[in-house]
């Protein structure tokens, strides 16, 4: 079992503060009472960012573990929101089951695509960085 370090806890906390604030800001900008656009946007963007950070930055740059924790677990963990997505889906299932299923499939499939895109961008960035 890995030992708990205060530096790691602080990194996750600070990253989480920024991720939560970013999610809140995007929600203010994109959400309205009838759509889940803000939640969908942060979840898809978060899928891309997490793949890029954990594959690209962690593999191609020798970053300290606390920084990877701050960016991945902290920022992206607070930025994305599975529970809000499920709550929104539950709300919409009674009103429009087809809409709810469509949003769920969109987040699942496009989220996987966004993560794959983050991986590919990290791979391309890493190759380009090696030629510098």
User: How far is it, in rounded angstroms, from Cα 94 to Cα 67?
Assistant: 42
Looking at the domain assignment, is residue 95 inside a domain?
yes
Indicate the burial class of 132 (C-beta count within 10 angstroms; 0-12, 13-18, 19 or more): exposed
Note the helical H segments in 31-96: 37-51, 58-60, 65-68, 77-79, 82-95
Beta strand residue intervals within 1-132, DSSP E: none
R_g over Cα of the chain: 17
Looking at the domain assignment, is residue 50 inside a domain?
yes
Looking at the domain assignment, is residue 38 inside a domain?
yes
Tens digit of each residue's pLDDT (9 = 90 or more) over 8-64 = 999 999 999 999 999 999 988 987 766 778 888 999 999 999 999 988 877 888 889
Looking at the domain assignment, is residue 84 inside a domain?
yes
Residue numbers of the domain that contains 117: 6-130
CB 12 within 8 A of CB 19: no
Looking at the domain assignment, is residue 116 inside a domain?
yes
Q: Mean pLDDT score of the chain, rounded to an integer? A: 89
Looking at the domain assignment, is residue 1 inside a domain?
no
Q: In the prediction, which pLDDT does 23 show?
A: 93
First-last CA distance in the chain: 39
Tally the domains of the chain: 1
Of 19, 12, 28, 23, the closest CA to residue 84 belongs to: 23
Tens digit of each residue's pLDDT (9 = 90 or more) over 105-128 = 988 999 999 999 999 999 898 888
- Find out whether 102 is annotated in a ligand binding site: no
Looking at the domain assignment, is residue 33 inside a domain?
yes
Query: Tokens 């009472």 sit at which residue?
Result: 33
Looking at the domain assignment, is residue 102 inside a domain?
yes
- Find out whether 77 is annotated in a ligand binding site: yes
């Amino acid at each position: 079992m890995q030992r708990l370090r205060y530096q790691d806890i602080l990194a996750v906390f600070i990253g989480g503060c920024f991720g939560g604030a970013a999610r809140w800001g995007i929600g203010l900008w994109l959400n309205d009472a009838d759509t889940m656009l803000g939640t969908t946007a942060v979840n898809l963007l978060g899928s891309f960012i997490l793949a890029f950070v954990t594959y690209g930055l962690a593999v191609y740059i020798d970053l300290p573990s606390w920084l990877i924790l701050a960016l991945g677990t902290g920022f992206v963990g607070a930025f994305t929101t599975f529970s809000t997505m499920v709550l929104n889906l539950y709300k919409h299932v009674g009103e429009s089951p087809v809409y709810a299923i469509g949003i769920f499939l969109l987040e699942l499939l496009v989220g996987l695509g966004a993560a794959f895109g983050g991986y590919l961008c990290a791979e391309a960035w890493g190759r380009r960085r090696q030629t510098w």
